[in-house]
Amino acid sequence: MGLLIFSAVSLTATPVTVQEVGIGANEIVNITSSTLGDNLNVYAGVIDLLVNGAPTAGFCIDPWHWSISGPQPYDLVPLAGAPKSPGPMDAATALKIEQLWQHFYAPGISGADAAGLQIAIWELVDLSITSASFSLNSSPDYGAGGMITWVDSNPDAPAANLVAVTGGGQDYVISAPDGGLTAVMLGIGLLSLSWFRRRMRAA
């Protein structure tokens, strides 16, 4: 039953309001994106968000779309179900991002470490999506290569509980929210399970 509940929740997108309100620890890097253009100077690091009004730290998982100002309608989805087209990433990539977050992220993260984690996330997502491309043009990579080597060498490392928010602007990875929003997702999952069981009995 637990597996069925998890599956039902995983298939559910929960509407949320997301607003990008600032940039936390970061470094400016130069990238090329197949959809945005060449030689772009961008922030690489923590993104300060409001998710349904709650302050939330996130990272970009979508180097193919610009952010949008102001409160925006987004969907809270499983990490492996994001980013939007040209995504999504695969489950193995989502797990690696969760492991990197667990091992390298902390609220007081430095700008260099935050940039390295952001670049590592972009590079992992890019490797899993073949219909678009991302590349880092500037140096250094702030340890991103070492982070990817670490996660590849530690497949059983603990993983953070992360989700994605996906919408009209760039998509973000955040910690799974506690409290009401999680309860709503679980409630939807239970309703889906109840419907599934009724269908099974009717068959």
**Is the CB of residue 27 less than 8 Å from the CB of residue 44?**
yes
Distance CA 109, CA 106 (A): 5
Residue 135 pairs in a beta bridge with: 32
Mean residue pLDDT of the chain comes to 87
Angle 177-180-182 from CA coordinates, rounded to 5° = 50
Query: For the segment 51-82, what is each residue's pLDDT rounded down to a tens digit?
Result: 999 999 999 999 999 999 999 999 999 999 99
> How many domains would you assign to the chain?
1
Q: Which residues lie below 8 Å from residue 36, measured CB to CB, with a gap of 6+?
A: 63, 64, 65, 66
pLDDT tens digits, one per residue of 89-138:
999 999 999 999 999 999 999 999 999 999 999 999 999 999 999 999 99
Could you give the angle at the alpha carbon of 165 between the alpha carbons of 151 and 109, nearest 5°? Answer: 50
What type of residue is 181? L
User: pTM value?
Assistant: 0.84
Give the rounded percent of residues in the chain with a pLDDT score beyond 70: 82
Range of the domain at 32: 2-202
Distance between CA 64 and CA 132 in Å, rounded? 8
- The answer on pLDDT for 197 being more than 80 is no
Q: Which comes out higher in pLDDT, residue 6 or 133? A: 133
Separation in Å, CA 156 to CA 57, 91, 99, 185: 25, 14, 9, 27
The answer, yes or no, to whether residue 169 has pLDDT greater than 80, is yes
